[in-house]
Amino acid sequence: MGKIIGIALIVIGVALAVWGYNVYDSASAQVSRTFSGDTPIEAWLGMVGGAICAIVGIYKVK
């Protein structure tokens, strides 16, 4: 059962990281970064949360 949860966490982590990158690379985020220098928090949450999920998933699979 732990391996199934690990695989699911890896898939969810990769999906979150891709979503976070898409938010980071969106047109509205680019305009926001140009004028204020701020990156949307959703982008950071997606990328960092996705990386953490993937790492925990890899740990569970081992």
Q: What's the predicted TM-score (pTM) here?
A: 0.83
Identify which of 59, 25, 51 has the alpha carbon closest to the alpha carbon of residue 39: 25
Predicted pLDDT at 15: 97
**Interval 17-57: pLDDT, tens:** 999 999 998 988 888 888 888 888 899 999 999 999 999 99
Domain boundaries, the chain: 2-61
Identify which of 3, 43, 7, 14 has the alpha carbon closest to the alpha carbon of residue 26: 43
